[in-house]
Amino acid sequence: MNPTLWTGLRSTFLVLVAVLWLLPVWLMVVNAITPSAEYSGAPAWWPETFGMITNLTEAWQTGQMGPGFLNSLLYSTICAAVAVVLAALAGFGTVVLKVRHKTLWFWLIYCGTLVPLQIFLAPMFTAAARSNLYDTRLGLMIVYVAISIPFAYFLMRNFITTLPREVFEASSIDGAGPLMTFLRICLPMCRPAMFAAFIFQFTWAWNDLLFGMTLTASPEVRPIMASLINLNGNYSSVGPPTVLAGALIASVPTVAIFFVFQRFFVSSLTLSK
């Protein structure tokens, strides 16, 4: 095929995919701008009047999104960071250290991503209720850390396998123990992969609704997505523009953190040496 023709087809395909991807975002923003009193029920494709500030304020107050926003920020940041560090430690152990049955350990940890999360709901609810962790921040954070580890471990383990083994051998010859080697050698070299794993797990924890609704009941503990669902519930008195404005509020942190750590994310995908 002609290289020029192939380039044109590829560019056209990418433009179409981008348009299809951005179209729902455009509709969400436009309809969030529309004042609730002027909303006709049909999706607006272009804003005629500006009611964004009113919709944002109403969504924040009616949906009690303030506590949920702070809770999700706490859950996503701390749980993702703890999970990534534990995953890096597990990856270091199964790649660098001399442990038996490395493949078995890999599958035991990674299989946590292969099981549907809905299977864990009943036993987790029972365990949380019996241990007095139901409707507590600590209980939800334990769940988020545990579920975030397998995929973060997959990323960290694969990245550590690309690192030169000579560096770890030299550290051992110089007298450094496993912990010192992990802290002084492995962690600095794994920084791009750790930031990429952090982005993935932060986004997952922030967008979680399943465990946020199942393991919590009070607005003081529930994450942002549970607050957003309450705003859009059957007994809610707000209109769709207000709900969409609430969705915009809920999407800001994930977009911001991606742009902040974009450089590390790209470098980890390229597995730079």
Same domain for 103 and 134? Answer: yes
**Domain of residue 233, CATH code:** 1.10.3720.10
Same domain for 197 and 156? Answer: yes
- In this structure, of 16-20, 60-64, 131-135, the range with the lowest mean pLDDT score is 60-64
Same domain for 231 and 109? Answer: yes
Task: Summarize pLDDT for 214-262 with one digit per residue, the tens.
Answer: 999 888 899 999 888 877 765 467 778 888 888 888 888 888 888 877 7
Same domain for 95 and 29? Answer: no
Q: In the 3-class helix/strand/coil scheme, how is 36-104 assigned residue by residue?
A: HHHCCCCCCCCCCCCCHHHHHHHHHHHCCHHHHHHHHHHHHHHHHHHHHHHHHHHHHHHHCCCCCCHHH
Same domain for 120 and 241? Answer: yes
Residue 37 has pLDDT above 50, yes or no: yes
Quick one: pLDDT band at residue 90, thresholds 50, 70, 90?
very high
Using CA atoms of 190, 192, 198, 199 in order, give the dihedral in degrees to the nearest 10: -160
Residue 272 has pLDDT above 50, yes or no: no
Q: Where among 18, 36, 57 does a domain terminate?
A: 57
- What's the DSSP call for residue 218? S
**Conformation bin of residue 41: beta by default, left when phi > 0, alpha when psi is -120 to 50:** left
Q: Which domain holds residue 48?
A: 3-57
Same domain for 177 and 83? Answer: yes
Query: Is 40 or 226 the better-scoring residue by pLDDT?
Result: 226
Mean pLDDT value across residues 49-53 = 84
Q: How many domains are there within the chain?
A: 2
Quick one: pLDDT band at residue 266, thresholds 50, 70, 90?
low
- The overall average pLDDT reported for the chain is 86
Same domain for 241 and 180? Answer: yes
End-to-end Cα, the chain, rounded Å = 34
CA distance 139 to 152: 20
- pTM given for the model: 0.84
pLDDT score, position 268: 59
pLDDT score, position 134: 94
pLDDT score, position 242: 86
Residue 75 has pLDDT above 50, yes or no: yes
Same domain for 51 and 69? Answer: no
- In this structure, of 111-120, 136-145, 182-191, the range with the lowest mean pLDDT score is 111-120
For 130-157, b/e burial (b = at least 16 CB within 10 A) is eeebbbbbebbbbbbbebbbbbbbbbbb
Nearest-Å Rg of the Cα atoms of the chain is 23
CA distance 238 to 35: 11
pLDDT score, position 273: 44
Same domain for 212 and 192? Answer: yes
Same domain for 32 and 132? Answer: no
Q: What type of residue sits at position 5?
A: L
Q: What type of residue sits at position 183?
A: L
Same domain for 97 and 213? Answer: yes
Q: Where among 18, 34, 57 does a domain terminate?
A: 57
Burial class (CB in 10 A: 0-12, 13-18, 19+), 110: middle
Task: Summarize pLDDT for 153-191 with one digit per residue, the tens.
Answer: 999 998 999 888 888 888 888 787 888 888 888 888 888
Residue 110 has pLDDT above 60, yes or no: yes
Residue 81 near residue 200 (C-beta atoms within 8 A): no
Mean pLDDT value across residues 68-90 = 94
Quick one: pLDDT band at residue 269, thresholds 50, 70, 90?
low
pLDDT score, position 270: 55
Same domain for 93 and 141? Answer: yes
**Conformation bin of residue 239: beta by default, left when phi > 0, alpha when psi is -120 to 50:** beta
Q: Give the percent of the chain with pLDDT over 90.
A: 30
